[in-house]
Amino acid sequence: MRIVVLGAGYAGLTLARRLEDALGPDHELIVVNDSPSHLVQHEIHRAIRRPAIAEGIVVPLTEVLDRATVRVAQVEGVDPDAKTVSLAAPPSAERAARAYDGKRANMGDDDGDGDSERAESEGTAIEIEGESERADSADDAGNGREECGGAEEGDETESVLAYDVCAVCLGAETDFQDVPGVAEHATPLKRLRDAERIREDFLSVLPEGGRVVICGAGLSGIQVAGELAALAREEGASEDCKILLTEALEEVAPAFSTEFSRAVCEELEDRSVEIRTNAPVERATEDGIVVDDEELATDQLLWTGGIRGPRALENERPVVRSTLELGEGTFLVGDAARVVDTNGAAVPASAQSAVREAGAVAKSIATIADHGDQGGFRPRLEPFTFDSPGWLVSVGDGAVAQVGPTVLRGKAAKALKTSVGAGYLTSVGAIGNAVDLAREELALSPD
Ligand SMILES: Cc1cc2nc3c(=O)[nH]c(=O)nc-3n(C[C@H](O)[C@H](O)[C@H](O)COP(=O)(O)OP(=O)(O)OC[C@H]3O[C@@H](n4cnc5c(N)ncnc54)[C@H](O)[C@@H]3O)c2cc1C
């Protein structure tokens, strides 16, 4: 049976690793991702203040997958009826991003001749759609663990990949909500190159002073505002620079409890971040935004105001019920889906949801693989119930944690934040990255 996992973010990587353990040797496991590395997205805001943290949050897939074939390609579309996926070479913008994201998994130049390159490591094969140059997936240390060869005779270069079972784990894209001018003038935060640009723009605003506006006070917006405030302080410019966080709904962190939201507000205000709620942005121009009929001059504009589905799903986030099946044999996991769990509750789009959903889907796929084709008999699939241990955000050097009904701040929350980030990396086998990340986090908050 051919099992295909599309995307190697939180959902895709967790799922692929579980399947590597659960599937028998007769089953083929292919992971398709537009980059040869996994990005720990929930720490990406840290790279605005500490670019070196990128070392800890970019994980070459060949280091954390064992027997799966990794195919570096752009998923263009999924047809659950035909059970096929259309693939293309990753676009050049993605390639440029990978040079940064995946710097420990360097690849050859794109000559666009449509060949695919195959490289073997101990158990993981990596294939690069549209590459004919040698693919070198060895890590920085040059320890030679991953020997990469040239293209093999008879190598498949299909742009249509057929599957028996597929899990679509392609994450989400930034949704600019069709607010006029926002897509043109605001920077989103999804990739390391976004963090790099936000840092550069902010450092160029600081010497003159000015106003930086972050639109959208969910997990990303809160954490970005905290990082910028801390960076301004470190640069000795917190007096001159105004950081404004706007939110269209009534509260900061509107998806979370009022206590959590209140604690986050206090942490932000302690760091001189101005907050405006009930303040949907009406339009943006090169020089400013209009909020509540008021024009605000803006020196830097950031957008963390929502997500939409990936392009391969026509920017939709289809609803899936508790088994997360989109169609028979096709699952939708993580931010790409609007998941409704067994209790009928909408599951928030988040890293922790994606990882938990992947656990349930891994059991279902392993069951399908075990039963094979039994003439119309369908094995029982694993139902998913979202049970969150709590929520955590960093606010510059501080943090706020909600654990059950208790909201924590100060050292306890900071310790939790560090251990959750490092714990996640350990759980996907990236022990070295976990150590790097913990070291960087501790450097960020030395007290
Ligand atoms: C700044 C920031 C802070 C955050 N903080 C938190 C937090 O504190 N806690 C929390 O729980 N969540 C947080 N999140 C949200 C969390 O990062 C997402 O919910 C999570 O990444 C979703 O996981 P996923 O596997 O669905 O998607 P992703 O992690 O986005 O993975 C999708 C994968 O698919 C690949 N891909 C996408 N399109 C294609 C394509 N067409 N072809 C091939 N490959 C493709 C991508 O490269 C990626 O590897 C934060 C997000 C941001 C941006």
Report how far ligand 1's centroid is from the alpha carbon of 239 (Å). 34
Parse the chain into domains and list their residue ranges. Answer: 2-172+309-371, 177-304, 390-444
Determine the average pLDDT of the residues in 314-326.
Answer: 97
Q: Assess contact for 386 and 345: CB atoms under 8 A.
A: yes
Band of pLDDT at residue 244, cut at 50, 70 and 90: very high
The reply to whether domains 2-172+309-371 and 177-304 share a CATH topology is yes
DSSP state at residue 349 = -
What is the 186 CA–ligand 1 centroid distance (Å)?
Answer: 20
167 compared with 115, residue with greater pLDDT: 167
Q: What pLDDT, on the 0 to 100 scale, is given for residue 431? A: 87
> Taking the mean position of all CA atoms in its chain, how far away is CA 85?
21
The answer on pLDDT for 190 being more than 50 is yes
% helix / strand / coil in the chain, to the nearest 5? 35, 25, 40
Please say if the pLDDT value at position 76 is more than 80.
yes
The mean pLDDT value of the chain amounts to 86
Using pLDDT thresholds of 50, 70 and 90, give the confidence band for residue 375.
low
Rounded to an integer, the average pLDDT of 365-390 is: 87
pLDDT at 93: 46
Are 323 and 383 within 8 A, CB to CB?
yes
Higher-confidence position of 32 and 130: 32
Answer whether 8 contacts ligand 1 (Cβ < 6 A): yes
Identify the residue with better confidence: 313 or 390: 313
Q: What is the structure's pLDDT at 43?
A: 93
Lowest model confidence (mean pLDDT) among 10-14, 217-221, 334-338, 427-431: 427-431
- Mean pLDDT calculated for residue range 315-328: 97
Q: What is the DSSP string of 288-343?
A: EEEETTEEEE-SEEEE---EE--GGGTT---EE-TT-EEETTEEE-GGGSEEB-TT
Which of 33-37, 92-96, 365-369 is the least confident region? 92-96
Our answer on whether the CB atom of 41 is closer than 6 Å to any ligand 1 atom is yes
Question: Predicted confidence band at 435 (pLDDT cuts at 50, 70, 90)?
Answer: confident
What pLDDT was estimated at residue 123? 62
Probe target for ligand 1 pocket from 14, 35, 170, 414, with the most ligand atoms within 8 Å of CB? 170
Q: Residue 108: its pLDDT value, please?
A: 37
425 alpha carbon – ligand 1 mean position (Å): 14
Ligand 1 lined by 395 (C-beta under 6 Å): no
pLDDT (0 to 100) of residue 92: 57
Does the CB atom of residue 9 touch ligand 1 within 6 A? yes
Q: Which amino acid is at 319?
A: V
Q: What is the pLDDT of residues 130-160, one digit of tens each?
A: 764 333 333 332 222 222 222 233 334 448 9
* Homologous superfamily, domain 2-172+309-371: FAD/NAD(P)-binding domain (3.50.50.60)
pLDDT, residue 377, reads 76
Superfamily of domain 177-304: FAD/NAD(P)-binding domain (3.50.50.60)
Query: Hey, whose CA ends up nearest to atom 38 of ligand 1?
Result: 170
More confident residue, 180 or 377: 180
pLDDT band at 127 (very low <50, low <70, confident <90, very high): confident
Give the rounded percent of residues in the chain with a pLDDT score beyond 90.
Answer: 68
Q: What is the pTM of this model?
A: 0.88
Choose from 99-103, 269-273, 427-431 the range with maximum mean pLDDT: 269-273
Which comes out higher in pLDDT, residue 420 or 223?
Answer: 223
State in Å: Cα 315 to ligand 1 middle.
15
Provide the pLDDT confidence category of residue 444 given band limits of 50, 70 and 90.
low
Dist. CA 351 → ligand 1 center (Å): 7
